Amino acid sequence: MAHKKIIPYLLILPIVLLYGVFIGGGLVGIIQESLGHIPILGLKGFTIEYYSTAISQNYFLKSLLYSIYIAFTAAVIATVLGVVIAYAFVTCENEMVQRVVKRALQFGLIIPYLYGVFLAMILFNQTGFFARIAYSVGAIGEPASFPELIFDRKAVGIIWVFVFKGTPFVSLFVMNVMGRIGNTYGDVAKSLGSGSLTILRKIYIPLASNSIVWASSIIFAYALGSFEVNYLLTSISPVPLSAKLYSLFIHPDLTVIPQTMALSVILFIIGGSVVGLYSVLLSFLLKGRI
């Protein structure tokens, strides 16, 4: 029966290859270049000076913190909204409403991020839709007095896109799990006199916590490292780390390459760790305290 033992290894072979070659190999590739070994440019030998250059740039810490701020805010808002919607959905007894809501959420899920950026431009610009409404009701006298919601330092526009895209993701995902929890627990709790907030906190969230943590961490990671939203809606300063990385990547000066790669290794490792930390904290919060 030796061949039976091989089966699981054959089954996991594709994914091990895929991850090993592209994630593992990719990390090795960028580490090598970040250490300054790029024979085609005549750069040989290894040095860590590019890391110190990358870190000592005055934008580095600012950009990193800014990116974490964006990711954290977006992930928290999307998670809270998503969970509340999912809960309202599974406990709502109107099938008609459920159907409409599910469609709307699916719709939000399939809109590409790129298009989210486009919507943000149409809606939140100082001459955007909301500014026009504010003008027509007399709330503002001219476009410039409408608050800056995109290309702004608080990154409202960027966060909005991630929330707009993240909320349906979280809620659809969590909804599935909550739907399976069934109403039995809820009915018991209700008969014992618990309010719906307590039921959500004491029953639904702990039971769905794994999925919530998973979905929320994905939003967090995406907001931290995605290119198009950060790049297209950023303010001039501070600039999210991923947008900065792209500017470096297309920099016309070839000697900047090792520094670019060093920054990308840093984003890989620090970013990955921050996401890990976020999910550990979140799962501690959901399982331990509430």
Partner 1 sequence: MKKTILVFISLIMIFPMLIVLLLSMFSYYRFPLILPQHFTNTFWKTAVVENPLFVSSLANSIVLATCNGICSTVVGIMTARALVRHEFMGKRVVRMFFTLPLFIPAMALFLGVHSVMIRLQLMNHCSGIILAHMLISVPYGINIFISFFQGINRDMEDVGKTLGCTPITLFSRIVLPLIMPGIYLSFSISFLISFTEYFSTFLIGGGNIITFSTMMYPYVHNGDLGNGAVLGIIFISINVGIFYLTEYLSRKKLKIDSYLFE
Partner 2 sequence: MKGLKRLSAMLMIIFMLAGCSTGTGNNVEEPTMSTWEDVLAQGKNKEVTILMWGGNESINKYMDGFVSAKVKEKYGITLKRVPMNAPEFMSKLLNEKKGNLNPGTSDLLWINAENFRTAKQGGLLWGPFTDLLPNVSQYYDLEASDLHYDTGIPIEGHEAIWGRAQLVLTYDSEYVKEPPKSFEELMVWVKENPGKFTYPKLPDDFVGAAFIRTAYYELTGERDVFQKDMTREAFNELSKPVVAYFKEMNPYLWREGKAFPVSQAQQDELFKNGEVYMTMGFEIGKTAGQVKTGVYPESVKTYVFDTGTIGNSHYLAVPFNSPNKAAALLVIDFLQSPEAQIEKLKPEVWGDMPGFDTNKLDASQKSQLETLESDPASISMETLTNNRLPEMQSQYIDWIKEIWTDEIGGQ
Site for partner 1 in 105-164 (CB under 8 A): 105-115, 117-119, 121-123, 127, 129, 131-133, 135-136, 143
Token pair for residue 95? 């099938």
Nearest to 108 by CA among 152, 173, 34: 173
247 makes contact with partner 2 (CB under 8 A): yes
Span near partner 2 by CB under 8 A; candidates 171-179, 218-226, 242-250, 280-288: 242-250
**Cis geometry, peptide bond prior to residue 206 (ω within 30 degrees of 0):** no
Q: How far is the CB of 191 from partner 1 (least distance, A)?
A: 20
d(CA 250, CA 196) in angstroms, rounded, equals 53
**Contact present, 79 and 170 (Cβ < 8 Å):** yes
- Segment 233-252, which members bind partner 1 (CB under 8 A)? 242, 245-246, 249
Neighbour tally for 40: CB within 10 Å? 6
- Segment 137-166, which members bind partner 2 (CB under 8 A)? 143-144, 148, 151-153
Q: How far is the CB of 289 from partner 1 (least distance, A)?
A: 24
H-helix or E-strand containing 247?
helix 241-249
Alpha helix stretches (DSSP H) within 2-151: 2-18, 25-34, 49-56, 58-91, 95-110, 113-124, 129-136
Applying CB under 8 A, which of residues 6, 18, 139, 254 lies at the interface with partner 2? 254
8 makes contact with partner 1 (CB under 8 A): yes
Q: Among partner 1, partner 2, none, what does residue 152 contact (CB within 5–8 Å per kind)? A: partner 2
Task: Tell me the site size for partner 1, rule CB under 8 A.
Answer: 85
Q: How far is the CB of 272 from partner 2 (least distance, A)?
A: 24
For partner 1, the closer of residues 287 and 289 by Cβ is 287
Please list, in sequence order, all residues whose beta carbon lies within 8 angstroms of the beta carbon of residue 240, skipping any fewer than 6 positions away.
Answer: 63, 66, 67, 70, 155, 158, 230, 234
Q: Among partner 1, partner 2, none, what does residue 104 contact (CB within 5–8 Å per kind)? A: partner 1
**Contact present, 116 and 161 (Cβ < 8 Å):** yes
Q: Could you list the residues that contact partner 2 (CB under 8 A)? A: 38, 40-41, 59, 125-127, 143-144, 148, 151-153, 232, 235-237, 247, 249-254, 257
